[in-house]
Structure 1
Amino acid sequence: MGNLYRVTPEDMAEAALEAAWDGGLRYYDTAPHYGMGLSERRLGAMLSTRPREEFVLSSKVGRRIVPNPGGGAGDDLDHSFAVPDATRRVWDMSADGVRRSIEESLERLGLDRLDVVYLHDPEEGPEDQGLDEAIPALVALREQGVVSAIGVGSKSDLTLARFVATGALDLVMISGRYTLLEQPAARELLPLCQEHGTSAVAVSVYNSGILASDSPSPDSSYEYGRVPREVWERAVALAETCREHGVSLPEAATHFPLRHPAIVNVTLGMRSPEQVASNLSRMQAQIPDELWEAIDAMGGDRAL
């Protein structure tokens, strides 16, 4: 919804969100970072017409969107979003920055509250400020009833483990670190989640593209860049194993994270109503136990 890599036309975005709601999806995740607030504005336009008690909404703090002096003629593709550069991101994990970011998100969304707030990619910014200021601020907001749950979202399982160890979080959002392809989060992070009663949401379960097709291409995307040969070969082997059991690679990738007891949700990015329909179909697929046994036999706890 934030024009990741290329423009998503307005009518396509609206149709995708309508299809998601009509398909029964009731958890929606966004962030100021996604398209300089475009994702929040588009999502809010749909959700503001729905009964507030019928959906769960999360957004993120850590990056605030501010005016960009002299901007407007360029784009934000250096950060992977096809939007004008009239605004820019600034890191702000201070207590005041957290509160202001939430207020600004609610204004863009046109809603009166967020259910879940994640600290977004703290390892890419002032991580210690995230620990020392942002998390205590989020805890206070939870205690005040401003938000129902707090968490951290990151591509780094080690960063997430550091935050989970504080015992302050309700949940974490794990990006790409517990997937059919690789599971480094199984070493330290997910056991810590179980120890502290912290739930986990799995995102980037297709590893940014390599697992999104039943026939992985060497030109696929991995970690938002070119796929290394050994990663592609692993994905091809997984696809062949899935095919032998009558399951597509994306179907297996969608279901795989939910095998772990700490993971309560898989969240998928969707650009069009066709992608919504495809993901709903994948989620309804029946995965035979024999496939999981075959995949487990290929080796576990991989970190490529």
Structure 2
Amino acid sequence: MKKLKAAIYVFINSLTSPKYYQHIVETRFSFSLKYFAVLALIASLITFSSTVKPITRDLSEGIGALETTVLSAYPKDLIITLKSGELSINQPEPYIFVMPKDFAAEPEDAEPVAKTPSNFLVFDSNGTLNDLEKYDTLILVNKTNILVQSNNKVEVYPLKDYPDGELTAETLRSLATEIRPFLKAIPYIVLGFALLGTVLYYFGFRLAYLLIVSLLLMAFGALRGLKLSFSKYYQVGLHAITLPLIVEVLSDAFQYPINYPYWFLMLNVLVGVIGIFYIKNGAAKSNVDANTKP
């Protein structure tokens, strides 16, 4: 309970009391580092918790929709056979899969990109590179290769690199059933990486970023004639980051981005500069008191 009260006391004063910064430079560096560690941990958890529901919902819905689209789009009477590096189908060619509407549609706020092909996949045993444009398709499969349009170029995948097999609507459904448990795990795997990324952001990037803040505060302190070591300026930065960190967390949690360049750095430095003013004034007052003693 005492540690909790102490942590709350440090948090409130780092946030609201510039005079408290006079006390900060008198404490050990480890004290400020522990404070930042607790602050960063709480910020990480709040930021992460605000993304859990959207990530799991969007990924789960997206994976489910993709599975449904693939299974419903595959014709019941289509059999694809690959043997000795050569592909054949049991239907007249060219056999065309039209581009699904969900794939072709673009968000209203999306930036202009290359036109989406009207067809997703075309089987033509005698198809060539030129037929990609002729069929207006994303993928063209001929007897021996898979041709794919990608970033204004065509990538070729030889079928000889794939094992022999046969694909039907039934085998596709069986495959979907087998991999479904793994697909359901994808949102949680992504969440794990999201949590790791959030922690690294606060404990890695922000600690490195504070080196820049400390240099700026050190330059200002030198102009004010304040003689402190670099580690003390870094300590000031560790506490001065409290306000911008809270603003950033709330901005992320409520999905209200702050579109102002370097606002975090400027706010962090501003709080630190105010703290340095009080540190300097406190040091000057101490010198005056010492000189006026009888």
TM-score range, shorter-chain basis? under 0.3
Normalising by the residue count of structure 2, what TM-score does the alignment of the two structures yield?
0.22
Q: Which has a greater percent of helix?
A: 2
Q: Taking CA–CA contacts closer than 8 Å with sequence separation of 6 or more, which of the two structures ends up with the larger relative contact order?
A: 2
Normalising by the residue count of structure 1, what TM-score does the alignment of the two structures yield?
0.21
Q: Which has a greater percent of strand?
A: 1
